Structures are given as C-alpha cells and as structure tokens.
Amino acid sequence: MRKELDKNIKRIAILGCTGSIGQQTLQVIRAFPERFEVVGLAAGSNRALLERQAAEFKPRAVHFAEGDDRKAGGGRSSALPKKLSLEEIASLDEVDLVVIATSGKAGLSPLLSAIRAGKQVALANKEALVMAGEIVTREARRHRARLLPVDSEHSAIWQCLRGEKEKPYRILLTASGGPFARYTSTQLSHVTPEEALRHPTWSMGKKVTIDSATLMNKGMEVIEAHWLFNVPLDRIQVLVHPQSIVHSMVEFGDGSIKAQLSQPDMRLPIQYALTYPERWTNAGLPRLDWSKAGALNFELPDMERFPCLKLAIDAAARGGTAPAVLCAADEVAVDLFLSGRLAFLDIPRLIGRTLDLHKSRLVGTHPSLEEIIQADGWARETARLLASRGQM
Amino acid sequence: MRKELDKNIKRIAILGCTGSIGQQTLQVIRAFPERFEVVGLAAGSNRALLERQAAEFKPRAVHFAEGDDRKAGGGRSSALPKKLSLEEIASLDEVDLVVIATSGKAGLSPLLSAIRAGKQVALANKEALVMAGEIVTREARRHRARLLPVDSEHSAIWQCLRGEKEKPYRILLTASGGPFARYTSTQLSHVTPEEALRHPTWSMGKKVTIDSATLMNKGMEVIEAHWLFNVPLDRIQVLVHPQSIVHSMVEFGDGSIKAQLSQPDMRLPIQYALTYPERWTNAGLPRLDWSKAGALNFELPDMERFPCLKLAIDAAARGGTAPAVLCAADEVAVDLFLSGRLAFLDIPRLIGRTLDLHKSRLVGTHPSLEEIIQADGWARETARLLASRGQM
C-alpha cells in the first residue's frame, strides 16, 4: 500500500528544518518511518543540509530562503524538489501537522497560514505568540487549528493539564537560570558571547541560548504560557531550577501540583507534539536515571540581576504592541552582542530604552497585525539607532 | 429545599471516623457543608469522639465496635442514632461514597459490601488490597464500583494518570524513608516505640507510623499500586524522598514523567477522592511555598537495612496467601513492638520467619476469601507463638 493511502500516517511540514529543533524533529520522524511522512521542508540558510534532508525524506516541496534561487530548485531533476513559499508549504492540502521551528518574527506569517488552513501546529517559535498572541490564539479558535506547544516548559504545562477540567490556579514555569545564575552584576558585565553560548543543560540555537542567559527567554515563555493556556500573567510564577529536570508545573485550586519531568532533551516534547494524543515508546529517547538524579532545587528568580525577565512581564502587562517591541529590540540586541558590538548587560538596557521610547507612541489594546509589524520595524530601527549612538 | 432532594450533594459514610484519616475526612466535609452529607459513621473504640461527631454531623446510622452496646445506641433518643453493622453502613441505599478508613483486616469485609452495593469507595485501608487485591479489584470491576485511592502516593499516581491513554511504563513510588532513614543497623537495633512514632513529615495513626519506620508501609503500597493500577511489580520502583513533597510519579513509554506534589497533608488526597472528578478550592488546605521549598532529594532505598520492603515485594511476587500472611504477621509484630515485647529489628525477623513457615503450606495462586482469612488466622497464631518462644 502506498503511504498516501494510509490514514495512520501523519504528514508533516517542517519550517526551520535545518535549525536545532528542525533537526531534532527529523530525528524523531526517523524513528517512526511507517507513521510519519515528511511532505514539506523549509530552511533559512543551510542549503547543503536541506539538500541532504530532502534526499533522505523526499518531501514534495521545499522552501529555501537565502538568495531565493528558484531556478536551482525549480524542477524535479534538480537537487531539491518543487520550491514553494513558507506560507504555501504551511497550508499544503496534504499536510496534517506543521512544525513551526523558524526563529524570530519570520515564523509569524507561515504560522497564520497554517492556522487558517486548519492545520495542527507544533509551535516552537516563541516570537509569534509574544508579538501577536491575541491574534494567533483568536485565529486558532476560529479555524479550529490546534496549537501544540513544543517548548519543553509549555509541553510540560500541557501534559500536566491533560484530563483536568479545572483551570489552573497557578503555573510554575521553571528556568534553568542559564549559565550565569550565580554571577554577580560585576561578573555579568564581562560576559563574552562564547561564555553565553555555553548553556549548562540544554543544547539549542544561538538566539535562544543568549535569551536563556539573560532570562529574556523565560520572560517570553511567561507571555506564551499566558496566551496558550489563558492564564493571567500574575498567576504565572517563574522558578529557577538549575537541573532542568522538572520542565514546569501546574498548581490547581485544591493545592495539588502536577509536574512533568524528563532528561533535558528536546526530542521528548517534539515527539509528544507529533504523536499527541498518543505517547509512543522510543528507545532512542533518554530516561531519567534516579540512581543519579540526586537533588532537584527550586528558588525564586532574581529580577535585579536579570532585568530582561521583568522587562518581558511588564511589556506583556502593558499589552498592545509593547511585546512586539520587546521581541524586536531583543533580536537587535542579541545580534549586536553576538557580533561583539554590545556588552551583555547592555542587552536589557537597550531593550528597556526602546520600550521607554515606545511608551509615548499611541498603542491600541488590540493592535492589528499591521500595527504589530509596524511596531516591530520601528523598534528594530530605534534599537539600532540607540545602540549606534551608545544611548542605552 | 431539604438536603436529600439535592442531586448535587454527595452522601458519605465513613468507616473509621475517629481515626486520623476519619477525622481529617470530617475536616474536609466541614469545609463544604452544602455539598456533602454524612449519612453513616463507624468507630472502633473512641465512643466519646463518635458521639461528638454524631451530634455535629447527624448521620442516620452509626456503628460502634467496642462492647457492642446496642442498647445505648438503639433508639433516636440516645446519644447515638440507629446502630448498624459496618457492612450495613457501607451498603446503605442513600450512600454515594464510602470512606474505608479502618485499619487492619477489619476493613476488608465492609469494603466488599460497599463494592457489591456498587458504591464509590475512597480507600484508605491498605490491608484489604494487600491481602485480597485480586478479589477486591475483580469484584469492583464486576459491580462497577469505583475504587478511589486515599493514600497520598496512590492519589498521586491516580492524578498523574488522569487523561492519559497509555499504560504506565513505570511507577515511581516515593517514600519519606521514615525517621530512621540514616540510621545504621546498630542504631536501628536500639529504636524505641516512642522514637518510631515520631514521623518526620506525616501525622498518622500508630500502626501506619511504625510501618513507615520499617518501610513495611511502602512495601504494602507497592502491592496496592500493583492492584489499583494493574502494573507489574517489577515496574514499580520505590524512591526515597525525605521531604514528602513529591507524592509519587508515573513514567510513560516516551520517557516523560508526571509527578504530583503538595504539602504533606492528608486532607488533600482525601478531598481529591471526595470531589473527584472535580477539584474544589479549599482555603483551609495548605499550598506549597516555593520560596521555602529548597531541595527535593531522591535516592534508591536500602533493602538491607529495611528488609520489610523486600519481604513485602517478595510476598507479592509469591502471591496466593503470602501477602495475607505478611499483613497478619506485621500486625502482630507491630503490636508486640508497641507494647515493648519486641525489638525494632525483630519486626522483619518475625514476619520473615512466619512467611518462611508458610512456604511449606499448600497455597493456591488464586485463593478464595476463606483461604485468605484462614491464612490470616494461621499467621497471627504462628507469629505470636514464634515471638513468645523468641524464635525469630
């Protein structure tokens, strides 16, 4: 029987297939060749890897961003199959589930395409929900498109809520604290990009690794959790948990708390999103070894040393286009830090300054997508200008 | 409107109402006077407390064991309402849910009455499942009586399994380790009843507190979990967790683990069983304070220093009437220890010796209730005889 006739096969498109999440998604798919089919692949810059992936998984369509070489990928005879836009791949008729693993605001437009086509969406992109959480969740409800979280924290919350009828009393969002959890402010001022890229527990892409070191990543996750689970911001408590074994917890009205734990390995939450509502046994995934697990520690985060967390929560509380400005200024600041043009502690300063300037602008409480994209452009320009002038 | 006309009221009978679990059950009920009605109360020995409880909750029927004074409680005019047997109270028409909180084998017969009357049963009695797990679970299936665990560990497992379709890969049953977790064998040989009754994290009845100090309690919980959740014995791993915050965990086929946490307070699992499938907000119940939670530790148990754990698991693996013999010999051994006639380390020796003698007896794999009760009687007699002769 040909694969396409089999109802038990899930047909998957991966946007961001050459990044960390994309590659790990393909590892999970490789473990279940009879149950998944890769229908679309989209990559940003690593064409060599995309070609190898396309040769192995034989998708019907690909997207390759850099240089936009439609010629090279135009025909079946070339190294790549049919070339489509991100939005076209996200809404292909034969796709059941779209993995949105592109980082930054590039994920927003294809995410909305997938949602409007009623697809299941495994969402690893943070920025889309942070920038446009209200629009994304409203569209998902309207088109009955299911948003399946891929972030380990949100997957944990989702797993803890499984089968529960009551709304959570509180979400306890765990944070490793990043590589500098114990650094003093003086030590933080000397941090180099190389040091910041060495995350103690998770192996991830560059942008998210720096965001983890500043705790901006955790701040964005608070905003994501707020939208995904419809929980007020003040009912989301960040807890520093250096071992990254407990991926988050949900507290209920009766005082009972449920937690989800595993080895820190992104393939687990990826597989959960791909196989939901089932759980498949995968001998390739690690199990916790309790003879070695030892202690699990929890403490409240230090918002003074890690101001990005507070910046994010404050931006979300302001609402409107403030979270979009936060995202955009952070993308600029992390870029400048990675290229050595900004100190580590200047990241929150630059974002804070951009957000301050944004306060004077008229912001609606329910901005349109156009207003969000405009705010994003304004914030990038403003952050770059401020940085070039040293006005942090 | 009178209470009995209201479909939203749960009508409850509590067997063992003056014990620790019984009193805490009444505390939970007291917090929701509009939603619960106490229909029956049964006590073993504390008549004064039973009379106070009956005056407050006005049950239609009571049972009082000691002295069997039917005269005193026979009429509406006396201090107690209508007196019935445990089995009659457990199967009263107007009862929706029976809490079985009597300790020891006395819980078995009323448990079976409740099950055969198709009641929901909140089960806090361990011995019934340990002695007759096969019969109890088979009868529950046959009469569609739901067994709702009250033990904090089994409540945790039940909560973690909520909404899950897959069978657990493994159950991680946590144990505080008791007051002597760090004692050497020499120190253990000098333990007094007073020391053994001081449990570090839980406030419980005497029998279960001593069973916690020997880890026999945990061994019995392994057997209970095996029957309640239909999980093979070798897929149940005991983990020592001194803080008693994580009440147990379930590991799934995909490597994901779910845990249930709370302050160690029996009112939480009692309330969960009473309100299931709902969770009610109860301001009287404690919440975990994460600013103080600190470290959660986990390690594998030491079966050498705490042989009761191994005795229980081995008895369950042997099956037949061996678990009933384990229970009976333990009840005798704990009694003798509490009255100063047995040393702490003689508890496992006496139980082990009784089980050894039982090996030579013919044991069917699927014993009848009569065979189980016979084995119980034989084991009590044998254990007392061995102890009186000092043959441990």
Residue A320 is classified by DSSP as: T
Q: Which residues of A touch B271 (CB under 8 A)?
A: 254
- Decide if B295 and A297 are in contact by the 8 Å CB cutoff: yes
Q: What percent of chain B has pLDDT over 70?
A: 93
Q: Which residues of A touch B289 (CB under 8 A)?
A: none
B31 pLDDT higher than 70: yes
Q: Which pLDDT does position B321 carry in this prediction?
A: 95
**pLDDT band at residue B2 under the 50/70/90 scheme:** very low
Is the Cβ–Cβ distance between A105 and A328 less than 8 Å?
Answer: yes
Q: Which pLDDT does position A380 carry in this prediction?
A: 97
Say if A280 is an interface residue toward chain B (CB within 8 Å).
Answer: yes
Give the C-alpha distances (Å, rounded to integers) separating A174 from A150, A151, B282, B290.
15, 12, 26, 11
Q: Pick the residue from chain A with its C-alpha nearest to B285.
A: A255
d(CA A47, CA B129): 62
- Decide if A259 and B256 are in contact by the 8 Å CB cutoff: no
Instruction: Work out the minimum CA distance from A30 to partner chain B, whole angstroms.
Output: 15
Q: Which pLDDT does position A364 carry in this prediction?
A: 66
Quick one: angle between helices A216-229 and A307-318, nearest 10? 30
Say if A283 is an interface residue toward chain B (CB within 8 Å).
Answer: no
Q: Which pLDDT does position B363 carry in this prediction?
A: 61
- Decide if B261 and A249 are in contact by the 8 Å CB cutoff: yes
For chain A, which domains are there?
3-149 (3.40.50.720), 152-262+286-303 (no CATH), 319-392 (1.10.1740.10)
- Decide if A290 and B298 are in contact by the 8 Å CB cutoff: yes
DSSP assignment of B176-195? ---TTTT--HHHHTT--HHH
Residues 111-170 in A contacting B (C-alpha not used; CB under 8 Å): 159-160, 162-166, 169
- Decide if A260 and B262 are in contact by the 8 Å CB cutoff: no
Residue pLDDT, tens place only, B289-301: 998 867 999 999 9
Pick from A267-281, B37-51, B349-363: least confident = B349-363
Residue A250 is classified by DSSP as: E
Is the Cβ–Cβ distance between B320 and B364 less than 8 Å?
Answer: yes
Token pair 């084998």: residue: B105
- Decide if B258 and A261 are in contact by the 8 Å CB cutoff: yes
Q: What percent of chain B has pLDDT over 90?
A: 84
- Decide if B295 and A300 are in contact by the 8 Å CB cutoff: no
Q: Which residues of A touch B288 (CB under 8 A)?
A: 251, 255, 257
How far out from the chain centre does Cα A271 lie? Answer: 15
Interface contacts A/B by beta carbons within 8 Å: 148
Q: What is the mean pLDDT of residues B242-271?
A: 97
Please identify every stretch of chain A with a pLDDT value under 50, giving residue numbers as ranges: 1-3, 70-77
Q: Which residues of A touch B261 (CB under 8 A)?
A: 249, 256-259
Q: Which residues of B touch A271 (CB under 8 A)?
A: 254
Q: Are strands B294-298 and A10-15 parallel, antiparallel or unpaired?
A: unpaired
Say if A288 is an interface residue toward chain B (CB within 8 Å).
Answer: yes
Q: Is the dihedral of CA A34, A39, A45, A51 positive or negative?
A: positive
Instruction: Work out the minimum CA distance from A357 to partner chain B, whole angstroms.
Output: 35
Residue pLDDT, tens place only, B103-126: 888 899 999 999 999 999 999 999
Residue pLDDT, tens place only, A87-97: 999 999 999 99
- Decide if A253 and B279 are in contact by the 8 Å CB cutoff: yes
- Decide if A237 and B271 are in contact by the 8 Å CB cutoff: no
- Decide if A282 and B257 are in contact by the 8 Å CB cutoff: no
Q: Which pLDDT does position B71 carry in this prediction?
A: 45
- Decide if B254 and A239 are in contact by the 8 Å CB cutoff: no
Say if B48 is an interface residue toward chain A (CB within 8 Å).
Answer: no
Q: Which residues of A touch B160 (CB under 8 A)?
A: 258
Q: Judge residue A70's burial from the number of C-beta atoms within 10 Å of its C-beta, 0-12 exposed, 13-18 middle, 19 or more buried.
A: exposed
Q: What is the mean pLDDT of residues B372-376?
A: 94
Q: Which pLDDT does position A66 carry in this prediction?
A: 66
Q: Which pLDDT does position B207 carry in this prediction?
A: 87
Here the ipTM equals: 0.93
Pick from A229-243, B162-176, B203-217, B321-335: least confident = B203-217
- Decide if B278 and A172 are in contact by the 8 Å CB cutoff: no
Minimal Cβ distance to B272: which of A251, A254, A297: A254
Is the Cβ–Cβ distance between B102 and B90 less than 8 Å?
Answer: no
Instruction: Work out the minimum CA distance from B238 to partner chain A, whole angstroms.
Output: 10
Say if B275 is an interface residue toward chain A (CB within 8 Å).
Answer: yes
Q: Which pLDDT does position A45 carry in this prediction?
A: 84
**pLDDT band at residue B77 under the 50/70/90 scheme:** very low
- Decide if A296 and B293 are in contact by the 8 Å CB cutoff: no
d(CA A181, CA B193): 46
Say if A291 is an interface residue toward chain B (CB within 8 Å).
Answer: yes
Which pTM was predicted? Answer: 0.93
**pLDDT band at residue B5 under the 50/70/90 scheme:** low
- Decide if A272 and B256 are in contact by the 8 Å CB cutoff: yes
d(CA A243, CA A240): 9
Instruction: Work out the minimum CA distance from B310 to partner chain A, whole angstroms.
Output: 18
Residue A195 structure tokens: 């040091």
**pLDDT band at residue B67 under the 50/70/90 scheme:** low
Q: Which residues of B touch A240 (CB under 8 A)?
A: none
Q: Is the dihedral of CA B298, B299, B300, B304 positive or negative?
A: negative
How many residues make up chain B in this entry?
A: 392
Minimal Cβ distance to A291: which of B166, B277, B300: B300
Q: Which residues of A touch B166 (CB under 8 A)?
A: 278-279
DSSP assignment of B74-88? SSTTSSS-EE--HHH
Say if B217 is an interface residue toward chain A (CB within 8 Å).
Answer: no
**Nearest CA among A98, A103, A10, A115 for reference residue A61:** A98
- Decide if A297 and B294 are in contact by the 8 Å CB cutoff: yes
Instruction: Locate the DSSP E strands across chain B.
Output: 10-15, 36-43, 61-64, 82-83, 97-100, 120-123, 147-149, 170-175, 236-240, 246-251, 257-261, 294-298
